[in-house]
Amino acid sequence: MYKFPVFTPAFPKFSAGFYLALALAAFLAFSACNNTDDDNTCNPIALEDDPPGQWFLGDFHVHATGASNDTGGDSSPEAIQQRAIAMGLDFLVLTDHSNSTGSDATTTYEDPALFNQGPEFPYWDTCALLSVPGQLLMIDGNEISPVSENNSQPTGHIGCIPDDLATLDRSGAFTDRPKDAVTGGNALQQANERGCFTVINHPYAITPWIIYDWTSYDYDAIEIWNGTIGFDPWDIRGRDIWRCDLLAGRNTVAVGGSDNHRIFTDAPGSGLDPALGYPTTAVFAANFTWGSIMEGLKAGKTAVFEGSSRLFIDGYNEKGCRNETADMRIVRLRGSVDSHLDSTRVVLTRATACTDPRPDHLAIPQVQEDTLLQQTVYGGQNFDFRVTVAGQKGVYSALLQPNTQAHYAALTRAIVID
């Protein structure tokens, strides 16, 4: 659990009668809260306690040598495990490219005789052995990676996060070749049929052939922050299209992923080589098991950030009880600012409408939003802000803005009021 400081404000002096009236008002408010069906811990001043559980830190998008041929040769599963433990990650998912010719680390040449031969999930047993009880869950997933003959034509990369480790269908290869034969939507369908929790990785990117073609919307999550060069303009589009999904009534989950290919890259990364865990996705779960983490993930209980920056959002009604319906009257933002940031801002918005250009991958999604808070914060600062709201319809989410190099930002999940 994250701890946040308690700030004690200085109050002016008032008469004894004022304090008696204040105490009576507080008693009446407390009595009114207790006379409802709400939990007795509700309090409009202290707010209801957090539910049982913990934020577990992980990376949903990592590549390993021997299964992806673009890792430089030194990203062994063992090296990834050691780096993850040193960083304090609780879990990570290897998502190596599905292309069967991509498992030869010595070449990027694609041999048509090896198309769609697999093997997929090559480090399944290795990851199980490298997992450390109570310390690290290491999972082998996949990134289904079809491609077009024309590098300016998008298809997309589909992250396959194993949902149930016991029932995931690992038999046979994914079909991702020949070039131009497999759309992003077809790759997505294959992942869904296998039992994957599906993620649209880097839906927008500087390299056109990895952009998603939007031929299907049957996914579970969008990678709203891909670590390649920090929280960049393409990630901003990814975050906006996620909010467009929510405004359209889809229950799309927000995740981040480093897309690390060079495990010994130092934080926060160099050029197009991100460091492991940059960004990190935190998942709120009841306990430290893969089943519990997946339960939290599917419920959308996520936050994405870099370094020691953090940002979490919660809603409460006027009595201080946790509530994220039209009765929400308080939005609480808790977090911290990485010391690499001199100063930045916490911005809370309510998105109300979206101009959605899909399937056009070149047009930029436009989100109409109201700004509810813009608060300056400083490196090394912990904060706990409360914003009064009216429970209006919309998508409420917050952002801790990055530095000029696009690093050390933090993004919240969304609260959706229908």
Query: Which pLDDT score, from 0 to 100, does residue 23 have?
Result: 39
Amino acid in position 10: A
Query: Which pLDDT score, from 0 to 100, does residue 39 have?
Result: 55
pLDDT digits (tens, 9 = 90+) for 194-207: 999 999 999 999 99
Kindly tell me the number of DSSP H helices and DSSP E strands found in the chain: 6, 20
- Whether the bond into 12 is cis, omega within 30 of 0: no
Query: Which pLDDT score, from 0 to 100, does residue 103 have?
Result: 64
The rounded distance, in Å, linking the Cα atoms of 84 and 101 is 27
Nearest to 99 by CA among 80, 83, 112: 112
Distance of CA 227 to the CA centre of its chain: 11
Q: What is the pLDDT along the chain (418 residues), one digit of tens a residue?
A: 443 333 222 323 333 443 333 333 333 333 344 334 445 678 888 999 999 999 999 999 999 998 887 887 889 999 999 999 999 999 999 999 997 566 666 677 788 888 888 889 999 999 999 999 999 999 999 999 999 998 889 999 999 999 999 999 999 899 999 999 999 999 999 999 999 999 999 999 999 999 999 999 999 999 999 998 899 999 999 999 999 999 999 999 999 999 999 999 999 998 889 999 999 999 999 999 999 999 999 999 999 999 999 999 999 999 999 999 999 999 999 999 999 999 999 999 999 999 999 999 999 999 999 999 999 999 999 999 999 999 999 999 999 999 988 999 999 999 999 9
Question: Is there a contact between 57 and 92 (Cβ–Cβ < 8 Å)?
Answer: no
Query: Which pLDDT score, from 0 to 100, does residue 228 have?
Result: 84
pLDDT digits (tens, 9 = 90+) for 58-76: 999 999 998 887 887 889 9
The rounded distance, in Å, linking the Cα atoms of 67 and 160 is 15
Query: Which pLDDT score, from 0 to 100, does residue 100 have?
Result: 58
The rounded distance, in Å, linking the Cα atoms of 121 and 118 is 9
Query: Which pLDDT score, from 0 to 100, does residue 105 have?
Result: 64
Query: Which pLDDT score, from 0 to 100, does residue 16 have?
Result: 41
Query: Which pLDDT score, from 0 to 100, does residue 107 have?
Result: 72
Query: Tokens 């007795």 correspond to what residue?
Result: 40
Question: Is there a contact between 210 and 223 (Cβ–Cβ < 8 Å)?
Answer: no
Query: Which pLDDT score, from 0 to 100, does residue 102 have?
Result: 67
CATH for 54-417 is: 3.20.20.140
Query: Which pLDDT score, from 0 to 100, does residue 271 have?
Result: 83
Query: Which pLDDT score, from 0 to 100, does residue 36 have?
Result: 40
Count of other CB atoms within 10 angstroms of residue 291: 14
Query: Which pLDDT score, from 0 to 100, does residue 109 have?
Result: 79
Question: Is there a contact between 226 and 333 (Cβ–Cβ < 8 Å)?
Answer: no
φ, ψ at 376 (rounded to 5°): -75, 135
Query: Which pLDDT score, from 0 to 100, does residue 119 have?
Result: 85
Pairing of strands 273-274, 54-62: unpaired
Tokens representing residue 188 in the block: 């997505």
Give 349's strand partners. 371, 397
